[in-house]
Amino acid sequence: MTSIFKDQSAESRVGTRALLIGTDLRLLSGGIAAVLPAYQSCLQSVHSSVRFVATHRAGSLYGKLSTFLFAVLTVLYEACVHRKRLVVYAHAGEWPSLVRKCVLLLVAGLAGAKTILHCHAPQWEVYREVSAWKRACLRWGLRRADVVTALTNYHARQIAAVYGEKVVVVPNPLTEELLEFALVSRVQHECSTTDVKMKVITLCRLAEGKGAEYVPSVARHVGGNVEFVIGGTGPLGEVLAAQVQNDSSLRNIQFAGWLTGPEKWRRLATSDVFFLPTRADALCTGFVEAMCLGLPVVTIDHGGNAEVVEDGVTGYVVRADSSDLSQRLGAAVTSLACSSKRQRFGVAAREYALRRYHPDVVKGTLRSIAKRLES
């Protein structure tokens, strides 16, 4: 299969240097661990050179402060040397991360560099409800950036309500490695027979709000002809394991531990449905990876989830405020027991993932931003 996107040559790069600043890559796990390297790869196709600078590391307070101070000095040095030929991309999460990045963008801007703040915190609606002085401080911090970007249109609207300016949507890209895997992997299942169980997979950190906590209650609603696999680790792991062990009706739930890279993709490619009613992701990487591999998704309409999963087309999006949420989620899973429907949804999901999250699409958006800053 050939790519439907044009390969970008070195001639299409802008003549600026990029500085990507964020948490030390060695500390990251889950979707964000794949996202930052993929984002850096996209930047390498846009700018003449790219450097990553860590702003935060685990460990002692001294270690954290020294890492941040080194980042400040590095940004200042790079900005003084390259001035307007430098673009600083800050990848910011919630409050502590956001404050660090705004300080660094202030330093870079004062030294003459161009700046971009990429916001990936999932709960931006919370910031709209803080006190007036906190909102004013947040607005001041956001305006240290020449361009502010968000992962979804939903989050762009939430940020713009505080920022007061237009926010550009730059979604997380698929990785080149996953795209290569998808090309050689059998991503569509043959029609299931009556003696084959439908496989539903959930991949996430096992923590409150991520979505895995719904698997036991949903499993009770769908019956024994559906097999659930939970991949992940975290504080809810023991709680979920105890529920399964103590309830004979949940013997159709298995635990796969933490999965990454090709091992994770193989699990996805041999599953039928991706299930994750998350309230804790700005743009769930699991959705995008599963859809790229031809899986329909079942989720809830929290945050930007409904922008990634189109209800009734690439999966099902259940109202998050439903009083009988587990029952509705179970009904959505059960409705995908029809293999022809799964296949139809899976094809649509894969097409959407490639159309929206292919690296070349993200590169095009980043290139437009870079040219705008260069002019």
Among 149, 153, 156, 155, smallest CA distance to 170 is for 149
pLDDT tier at 23, thresholds 50, 70, 90:
confident
Torsion angle of the four alpha carbons 317, 323, 325, 328, in this order, in degrees rounded to the nearest 10: -70
Q: Which residues contact 196 (CB under 8 A, 6 or more apart)?
A: none
Q: Give the separation between CA 309 and CA 297, rounded to whole angstroms.
A: 7
Q: Regarding the domain delimited by 176-356, which CATH topology (the fold level of the hierarchy) does it fall under?
A: Rossmann fold (3.40.50)
pLDDT of 210 > 70? The answer is: yes
Q: What is the three-class DSSP state of 88? A: strand
- Specify the pLDDT at position 187: 45
What's the whole-number average pLDDT of the chain? Answer: 91
285 vs 33, more confident: 285
- Specify the pLDDT at position 12: 66
- Specify the pLDDT at position 341: 96
Q: Give the separation between CA 12 and CA 370, rounded to whole angstroms.
A: 11
**Same fold across 14-173+358-374 and 176-356:** yes
Average pLDDT over residues 312-329: 97
Order of all β-strands in the sheet with 297-300: 253-257, 226-231, 198-203, 273-275, 297-300, 315-318
Rounded to 5 degrees, φ, ψ at 254 are -120, 155
pLDDT of 57 > 90? The answer is: no
* Domain boundaries of the chain, sorted by first residue: 14-173+358-374, 176-356
At the top level of CATH, which class does the domain 14-173+358-374 belong to?
alpha beta
Structure tokens at 357: 């999250």
pLDDT digits (tens, 9 = 90+) for 138-155: 999 999 999 999 999 999
Q: Give the separation between CA 345 and CA 115, rounded to whole angstroms.
A: 40
Instruction: Check if the beta carbon of residue 98 is closer than 8 Å to that of residue 92.
Output: yes
- Specify the pLDDT at position 193: 43
pLDDT tier at 60, thresholds 50, 70, 90:
confident
Q: What percentage of residues in the chain have a pLDDT greater than 90?
A: 78
pLDDT of 373 > 80? The answer is: yes
Name the β-bridge partners of 149: 118, 168
pLDDT of 188 > 80? The answer is: no
Average pLDDT over residues 64-92: 96
pLDDT of 29 > 50? The answer is: yes
Alpha carbon distances (Å) from 171 to 190, 232, 241, 317, 362 = 32, 24, 34, 20, 7
157 vs 15, more confident: 157
- Specify the pLDDT at position 186: 58
pLDDT digits (tens, 9 = 90+) for 254-287: 999 999 999 999 999 999 999 999 999 999 999 9
Instruction: Check if the beta carbon of residue 57 is closer than 8 Å to that of residue 27.
Output: yes
pLDDT tier at 58, thresholds 50, 70, 90:
confident
- Specify the pLDDT at position 65: 94
